[in-house]
Structure 1
Amino acid sequence: MTTKTQSLLKPLKRIEQGLDAIIQPLVFAGMAALIGVITLQIVSRVMFSAVGWTEEVARFLLVWITFFAGTLAFQRGRHIAVTFAVDALPVRLRQAARIAGTLAVLAFMVALVVIGYRYMQVQSFQKSASLRLSMTYVYSVIPLCAAVMSWYAFVDLLELLIDGERREESVP
């Protein structure tokens, strides 16, 4: 990688690391909260009368954890991928296929940001049953995580366009 491309990608990678530094503890805290809420739910049902809001909070936490953990998995390339066909291609076609795939992911994520935002707005009048929380907050995770994944896909696309061949040669 040349110095010019390093200087272009370095701040983008720093932003990715910053997002990762925010999302990772958020997922951890969400998991800890989910364990606490479910434990409270079990203990209250066995020992006392059930606490009504625990089921709803657990459901919302699970949704948020799923989206944020999916974002982390996306950034680390941990989602399920079938790559044997692309890996069998010659280097130039492999690079073109990866660029096309990354463009498709980027387009999907941008569409999900728009659709998720619209859905969030449509559901803004609805309140949750126990907490009376606006469902806008619950559904806001969709466009938020899609926007972060769009950023990750954009950086991946730039990496492929700028330094694709070298990256291809270094892949085992």
Structure 2
Amino acid sequence: MMPGAPWPPGMPSHPDAAMTSPEIDPGTEEGVYPLEPNPFADQPVDLSDLRWSDGVVFGVFWLLAFVVFLQFFTRYVLNNSLGWTEEIARFLLIAVTFIGSIMAARKESHIAVELFYRYLSRRGRFVAQIAVDLITLAFYGTMAWFCTQLAGRTHQMMVSIDVPKSSVYWGVAVCFALMTLYALAAVVRHWRTGTSRLIDPERFALAGTGL
């Protein structure tokens, strides 16, 4: 085509325009697309809800792991098992269970069936939440009282070490007492604020918290 001659109808107004496509970004190679976010990628760990008391169960857990490993090593490697490891491991497992339950009570993360709440109105969810809180409070308080009664009536000593077995029951009673206090705080908080994770699940899902 002669220089200066008009471009025929239907042809691009510039020679470089013929090399581009309206569907492809000129700055991106054809067939290369930006990576989508990976839903299975590691998410940042939020430790803001941890308290210093949560470290107690962490320490007891590793002590339990050490005692169990010591029992395994002495029994199957040295063929001379330490007699006290089995009993102490049993009591440490009890300690991990109930100390961990204190943390779960504080965070309101105990296992619960939440399907029932989906079919209730918001008012119904509020009533159900308060009812569950009161039942939980009564259960923790009753178990704390029973444990104190059992500890007071237990006078035996542990088999492997010279420690009263009642100390285990007193420890469980203290754990239930602390769970009772956290349950009482939850009842007051839910009653005053009128909301919780079960009452307004969408709100707390966006906030990323269980309280």
TM-score bucket of the superposed structures, by smaller chain: 0.7 to 0.9
**Aligned with 1:80 (options 107, 111, 126):** 111
**Aligned with 1:110 (options 137, 141, 157):** 141
CA distance in 2, matches of 1:152, 1:66: 17
Structure 1: which 5+ residue stretches go unaligned?
A: 1-16
**Aligned with 2:93 (options 58, 62, 76):** 62
Structure number with greater CO (CA < 8 Å, separation at least 6) is: 1
Query: How many residues are paired up?
Result: 153
| 1:112 and 1:142 in contact (8 A); partners too | no
TM-score (normalised: structure 1): 0.81
CA distance in 1, matches of 2:84, 2:104: 30
| 2:57 and 2:100 in contact (8 A); partners too | yes
Bigger drift between 138-147 and 99-108 goes to 138-147
Higher helix share: 1
1:155 aligns with 2:185: yes
1:135 aligns with 2:162: no
Instruction: Classify 1:140/1:94 alpha carbon distance in 2 versus 1 (closer, same or farther; 3 Å).
Output: same
Q: Secondary structure at the match of 1:160?
A: helix
Identity %: 30
| 1:91 and 1:165 in contact (8 A); partners too | no
| 2:101 and 2:179 in contact (8 A); partners too | no
The amino acid across from 1:155 in the alignment is A
- Cα offset for 1:116? 0.8
CA distance in 2, matches of 1:86, 1:166: 12
- Cα offset for 1:73? 2.0
CA distance in 2, matches of 1:116, 1:122: 10
Instruction: Classify 1:86/1:129 alpha carbon distance in 2 versus 1 (closer, same or farther; 3 Å).
Output: same
- Cα offset for 1:48? 5.0
- Cα offset for 1:80? 1.6
1:164 aligns with 2:194: yes
1:110-158 CA-to-partner distances (Å, cap 9, x unmatched) read 11111110011111x1111110210111111221111111111111101
1:99 aligns with 2:130: yes
Report the RMSD for the aligned CA atoms in angstroms: 2.0
The amino acid across from 2:191 in the alignment is L
The amino acid across from 1:75 in the alignment is R
How is 1:5-84 mapped onto 2 (pairs within 5 angstroms)?
20-22=51-53, 24-45=54-75, 46-47=77-78, 49-84=80-115
Structure 2: which 5+ residue stretches go unaligned?
A: 1-48, 206-211
TM-score (normalised: structure 2): 0.67
CA distance in 2, matches of 1:40, 1:166: 44
